[in-house]
Amino acid sequence: MKPRILSYRVSATHETITALGSINDPVSISDFDAFVIDPDGFYTDIPQALPFFRRQSELSDLLHKKGGVVVCILQPNNVVPISGMGNAPKYGFLNRAANPILSFLDGMTRAGAGSTIRLMPSGRGATSAYLQILKENLRFTAFLETTESEIARHSGTIFAVNSVGHPIALEFPIEEGLLSLIPPAHNVPEDRVGAAIARLVYRHFNDQQKEVESPLWTSEILVPGSNVYDDRIAELKKQHGGIGLEISSLEAKRDELRNRVRLLFGYGKVVLEGEVRAALRLLGFHVKEPEEYTGEWDVDLHEPQSGKTAIGEVEGSEGVIDVDKYRQLLDYIEAESLEGREHKGILIGNGFRLQPLDAPEREQQFSPHALRGAMRNQFCLLPTTELFKAVCAVLETQTDEALKATIRNSILSSVGIWTFAR
């Protein structure tokens, strides 16, 4: 018998899926074998207190008494109003069914969207069926800011992470039941989404049947022919594990290179400053991380051949890079000079960051005030658009150490706006 699935606010069709029109409908969740929900539905279908409490009880019965499945789209855990009871978090419908996991989710769920998704080779379980079908068409909107050990402490399993390793697909066993948290599908027909969800649910119940505990005496019984595949299975598992690790490693390297394009539109400490430091390292500079030096400046670099040093400030702006960052850099340079340490000053800017690369504004990223100050104090003004060109040239000829040295010396000797030229 195929498991019956009730779906709420998830666009998915399948012969086993029935849509729940409203949270206030009389249909009982616990009459089904699985419940699929997008918590964002509460924004468009705000429940009342009594139906809400009823749904909490039905979900508890589904998981604890029937060993069923709750499949939940992982969304930011915003607070929503419940008529007659005040505000509640979006995952409040799990309050009776999945504590203390719900408390764990409340504290760790963060908003954050993206499309870079890495499947975990170690992920084994029902949720993997959904990811295998839709892996090329997923876009996450939230993640868990926690560690693998913390999730394991709640008996959870991670199936996919974002580009920095935060979980975006995972599952938790709840007695014989299962809570699966998955990223939403993107630009996928409803029947394909439905097939992926149905496969997840079927996998759970199929695995349950496989996991019925066998009496000890059965270990001595050999079914004829059942052991002839053991060696080949072991060999393939070993190959599969190695391939999975290699894929993850190559994906990480590919994503790191693709991230260099963020030099053209990024801003802030995490994105732009990190990309600038990575780009300068690629050019052959020795670049410290901020925690490795005592100053407050954004970039601390050393040219290995000449021994010259420089400190820099990084700014990404939707408009022009003005004099504020220049003055900040000047303060740092002068303070270091008073201590007997002389550095080149580099103001690294991504002005008009949202404009196309051929926009006229991109040609004038630094204000006249910043330019005059740079000329007076021998500072280099380094547009990240030009830095990106240098990075691409180095990546095209990675063994050309002479090119790297030429670029480094050009940056350190330039006064005013630096442009890349072979």
Same domain, 136 and 207: yes
Q: For the segment 141-191, what is each residue's pLDDT rounded down to a tens digit? A: 999 998 888 888 888 999 999 989 999 999 999 888 999 999 999 888 999
Q: Let me know: does 350 contact 383? Beta carbons within 8 Å.
A: yes
Last residue of a domain, which of 194, 211, 228? 211
State how far the Cα of 126 lies from the Cα of 202, in Å rounded to an integer: 8
pLDDT band at residue 419 under the 50/70/90 scheme? very high
Does residue 218 lie within any of the structural domains?
no
Same domain, 75 and 190: yes
> Average pLDDT of the chain?
87
Mean pLDDT on 70-92? 75
Same domain, 176 and 280: no
Residue 46 pLDDT: 55
Q: For the segment 209-253, what is each residue's pLDDT rounded down to a tens digit? A: 554 556 777 677 777 777 787 888 888 877 877 787 788 778 778
Q: Let me know: does 198 contact 16? Beta carbons within 8 Å.
A: yes
- Residue 177's domain comprises 5-211
Give the distance, in angstroms, between the CA of residue 409 and the centroid of all CA atoms in the same chain. Answer: 37
Specify the number of domains making up the chain: 2
Same domain, 172 and 43: yes
Q: Let me know: does 48 contact 80? Beta carbons within 8 Å.
A: no
Q: Let me know: does 325 contact 272? Beta carbons within 8 Å.
A: no
Residue 144 pLDDT: 92
Q: Let me know: does 159 contact 131? Beta carbons within 8 Å.
A: yes
3-state secondary structure (DSSP) of residue 182: strand
The secondary structure of the chain in percent helix, strand, coil, rounded to multiples of 5, reads 45, 20, 35
Same domain, 338 and 409: yes
Segment of 39-43, 60-64, 404-408 carrying the highest mean pLDDT? 404-408
What's the CATH code of the domain at 102?
3.40.50
Does residue 148 lie within any of the structural domains?
yes
**Kind of pairing between the strands at 177-182 and 5-8:** unpaired
The DSSP letter of residue 40 is G
State how far the Cα of 393 lies from the Cα of 35, in Å rounded to an integer: 53
φ/ψ of residue 62, rounded to 5: -60, -45
Residue 128 pLDDT: 92
Q: Where are the alpha helices (DSSP H) in 10-126?
A: 49-60, 101-108
Q: For the segment 42-75, what is each residue's pLDDT rounded down to a tens digit? A: 555 655 666 777 888 899 999 988 899 999 999 8
Q: Where is 5: in which H helix or E strand?
A: strand 5-8
φ/ψ of residue 74, rounded to 5: -75, 115
Q: Residue type for 379, please?
A: F
Q: Let me know: does 102 contact 172? Beta carbons within 8 Å.
A: no
Cβ within 8 Å of residue 159, ≥6 positions away: 119, 120, 123, 125, 127, 128, 131, 169, 170, 171
What's the CATH code of the domain at 314?
3.40.91.30
Burial level of 45, CB count in 10 A (0-12/13-18/19+)? middle
State how far the Cα of 209 lies from the Cα of 304, in Å rounded to an integer: 63
Mean pLDDT on 388-417? 93
Same domain, 172 and 61: yes
